Amino acid sequence: MLKIEHLAKHFGDLEALHDINFQVADGEIMGLIGQNGAGKSTTFHSILNFLKYEGTISWNDQDINESVFDQIGYLPEERSLMPKLTVEQQILYLAQLKGQPARKIKGGIDEWLQRFEVKGKRTDKIRALSKGNQQKIQLICTLIHRPSLIILDEPFSGLDPVNVDLLEQAILNAKAQGAAIIFSSHDMGNVEALCDELVMLRHGNMVLHGEIRAIREQFGKNEIFVTTDWSQEALLQLEHVIEAKQLSRHRFMLRVDDPAAGQPIFQELSGGHYIEEFSQQPPTLDEIFRLKAGDGHA
């Protein structure tokens, strides 16, 4: 288990992190979100002991130092591979830094290249690969030694939807094997699809922390998705409806000022008959991010 208690970090007069507290259990995925400069990378660098900080960070109740570095897989936001090396040489070099024997790693390289659908051979130079395939090689370097703590700083950046799916599956596989995983992303879809819990930072402060569904529901189920023949103008006349956004020809998102209005709205729209769609939901994680991360909001 990764445990962070009262983490704080100052750069001169700038308070980059203030009293950060959370845990990531084995077999759990934590999403760390926030705008650029919110403190996500500083949190990662503190966990990895790249920075001096205040507070306590522990992995399985021991300090994170050289004795546990081999258990950690880290993908930095700034990708860094050695272009003159071959794919095999690059993977072996970083794996051996994690204490892995070359013979053991060599036997699994082709399987990892196939799993990530890398367009290139193990004998190809890194510089000969496309940017996307170089990113896949760095991901393989992060995961090939099967770390028990995985830290991914913006791992989905620059990946197309097909490759996002491949990475998501790799993250879920690592979770199934018991790894504790923490990653940052600006794409709330990735966070909602993968994470058990999230931490949101704003100007170095935690503004949200908890299980994703519980966080969404604390904002109230004030959105109704409905398929209906009613016009947008007629929907806006319904009591408690403050917005009627047309999503397609007959599909609308209604925003209400009182979640309790859902039942009478359903009764009025359905008239006691079959209705194709009526779903009352809390705001999406993306909407919550916009609400909580922007300036002028606490």
**pLDDT in the model for residue 297:** 47
**pLDDT in the model for residue 158:** 78
* Domains defined along the chain, listed by start: 2-217 (3.40.50.300), 220-281 (3.30.70)
Average pLDDT, the chain: 92
**pLDDT in the model for residue 294:** 66
* Average pLDDT, integer, range 157-176: 91
- pLDDT, one tens digit per residue, over 6-29 is 999 999 999 999 999 999 999 999
- Calculate what percentage of the chain has a pLDDT beyond 90: 80
* Average pLDDT, integer, range 63-80: 88
Q: Is the pLDDT of residue 160 over 90?
A: no
Half-sphere exposure of 139 (CA within 13 A, CB side): 29
- pLDDT, one tens digit per residue, over 202-239 is 999 999 999 999 999 999 999 999 999 999 999 999 99
Q: Is the pLDDT of residue 298 over 80?
A: no
DSSP states of the chain as a string?
Answer: -EEEEEEEEEETTEEEEEEEEEEE-TT-EEEEE-STTSSHHHHHHHHTTSS--EEEEEETTEE-STTTGGGEEEE-SS----TTSBHHHHHHHHHHHTT--HHHHHHHHHHHHHHTT-SS-TTSBGGGS-HHHHHHHHHHHHHTT--SEEEEESTTTT--HHHHHHHHHHHHHHHHTT-EEEEE-S-HHHHHHH-SEEEEEETTEEEEEEEHHHHHHHT---EEEEE-SS-HHHHHTSTTEEEEEE-SSSEEEEEES-GGGHHHHHHHHHTTS--SEEEEEPPPHHHHHHHHHSTT--
- pLDDT, one tens digit per residue, over 76-123 is 988 789 999 999 999 999 999 888 888 889 989 999 999 999 998 999
